């Protein structure tokens, strides 16, 4: 197994950095609890620029096809269109009711243009999480329940496989997907971690799954057969998500978090790290649906 080290790319100082995406030659990510969307130019390290700040948590975004600067967002208690001026147009807020306070968390688009996003209880209450799918007609549906802290998902390049982490359970599930309908088949357990929690994930062009392991200070690569064949060590204990990008797609960007750490132990936690790898990723998939005008 190959092991390498990630280097600090930007100090950033994020509380809960997540959801990095390589979009149109730049790195885009969120700081969840501050509700902030940020970006940085291309391969060059430097200060992140906030492009939107919301009054609610911002779990993840994906670009909207053909509409530069617009995003579909897992935010607060639902899914919304986020326009360049920060206006949210809600497609649905399904997690606002119920006895356990919940918020949206990680999310991504599949190759067919559907947006998938999970929710979790604010206190991580077991079984309170769920996974939602936003179809290309804007319809928002719950497709899984009984999760605790869903992260990801990540899709194979042809959209026939979905990986979904339940961080609190220390496992990554693998689902067959009907690429036409988006229907899920029965899952199998793909990865179990015992020394940390699987968090954000991404798939490269060869079908390998890269998994950030919160608490272990690592990003691990698994072959399509589930073999752990590479580790990238991150000098921060709480890596949250990987993203493959850069000029040729072989630069691994890793977001991290300060959340829950004593200030004296922050170090570079909350920064963004980078490592060169041997397999490129693919550009972030865009939402391909028809959305209402912002307002």
DSSP 211-257: EEEETTTEEEEE-TT--EEEEEE-SSS-EEEEEEESTTS-EEEEEEB
The DSSP symbol for 285 reads: P
The model's pLDDT over 115-173, given as tens digits with 9 standing for 90+, comes to 999 999 999 999 999 999 999 999 999 999 999 999 999 999 999 999 999 999 999 99
Residue 295 lies in a domain: no
Residue 11 lies in a domain: yes
Say what the pLDDT of residue 43 is: 61
Please list the active-site residues: 199
Residue 265 lies in a domain: yes
Number of structural domains found in the chain: 1
- Domain around 134: 2-276
Residue 283 lies in a domain: no
Residue 211 lies in a domain: yes
106 within 8 A of 74, measured Cβ to Cβ: yes
Say what the pLDDT of residue 189 is: 98
The model's pLDDT over 235-257, given as tens digits with 9 standing for 90+, comes to 999 999 999 999 899 999 999 99
* More confident call, 85 vs 54: 54
Residue 220 lies in a domain: yes
> Which residues does the annotation place in the binding site for a divalent metal cation?
18, 151, 199
The model's pLDDT over 180-229, given as tens digits with 9 standing for 90+, comes to 999 999 999 999 999 999 999 999 999 999 999 999 999 999 999 999 99
Residue 124 lies in a domain: yes
CATH number of the CATH domain containing 18? 2.120.10.30
Say what the pLDDT of residue 295 is: 44
Q: How confident is the model at residue 17 (pLDDT cuts 50, 70, 90)?
A: very high
Is residue 54's pLDDT more than 60?
yes
Distance CA 198, CA 238 (A): 10
What is the chain's percent helix, strand, coil content, to nearest 5?
0, 50, 45
Distance CA 24, CA 8 (A): 23
Of 212, 216, 205, nearest to 278 (Cα)?
Answer: 205
The model's pLDDT over 162-188, given as tens digits with 9 standing for 90+, comes to 999 999 999 999 999 999 999 999 999
Burial class (CB in 10 A: 0-12, 13-18, 19+), 248: exposed
Of 126, 122, 117, nearest to 79 (Cα)?
Answer: 117
Say what the pLDDT of residue 294 is: 44
- Residues counted in the chain: 295
- pTM for the model stands at 0.95
Continuous H helices in the chain: none
Is residue 289's pLDDT more than 50?
yes
The model's pLDDT over 78-101, given as tens digits with 9 standing for 90+, comes to 999 999 888 999 999 999 878 899
> Which residues does the annotation place in the binding site for substrate?
103, 105, 123
Residue 286 lies in a domain: no
Of 292, 256, 193, 268, nearest to 19 (Cα)?
Answer: 256
Of 266, 241, 243, 268, nearest to 255 (Cα)?
Answer: 241
> Which residues does the annotation place in the binding site?
18, 103, 105, 123, 151, 199
């Amino acid at each position: 197994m190959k092991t390498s080290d990630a280097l600090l790319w930007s100090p950033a100082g994020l509380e809960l950095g997540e959801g990095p995406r390589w979009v149109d030659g730049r790195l885009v990510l969120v700081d969840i609890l501050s509700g902030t969307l940020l970006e940085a130019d291309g391969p060059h390290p430097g200060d992140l620029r906030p492009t939107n700040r919301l009054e609610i948590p911002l779990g993840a975004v994906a670009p909207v096809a053909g509409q530069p600067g617009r995003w579909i967002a897992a935010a607060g208690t639902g899914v919304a269109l986020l326009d360049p001026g920060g206006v949210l147009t809600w497609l649905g807020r399904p997690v606002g009711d119920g006895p356990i306070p919940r918020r949206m968390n990680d999310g991504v688009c599949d190759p067919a243009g559907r947006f998938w996003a999970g929710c979790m209880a604010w206190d991580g209450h077991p079984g309170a999480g769920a996974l939602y799918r936003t179809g290309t007609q804007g319809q928002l549906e719950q497709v899984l329940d009984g999760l605790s802290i869903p992260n990801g998902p990540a899709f194979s390049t042809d959209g026939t496989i979905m990986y979904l982490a339940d961080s609190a359970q220390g496992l990554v599930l693998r689902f067959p997907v009907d690429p036409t309908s988006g229907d899920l088949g029965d899952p199998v357990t793909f990865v179990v971690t015992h020394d940390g929690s699987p968090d954000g994930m991404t798939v490269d062009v060869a079908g390998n799954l890269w998994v950030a392991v919160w608490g272990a200070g690592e990003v691990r690569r698994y072959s399509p057969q589930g073999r752990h064949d590479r580790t990238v060590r991150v000098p921060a204990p709480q890596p949250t998500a990987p993203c493959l990008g850069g000029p040729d797609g072989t630069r691994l960007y890793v977001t991290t978090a300060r959340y829950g750490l004593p200030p004296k132990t922050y170090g570079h936690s909350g920064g963004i790290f980078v490592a060169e790898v041997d397999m490129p990723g693919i550009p972030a998939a865009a939402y391909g649906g028809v959305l209402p005008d912002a307002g």
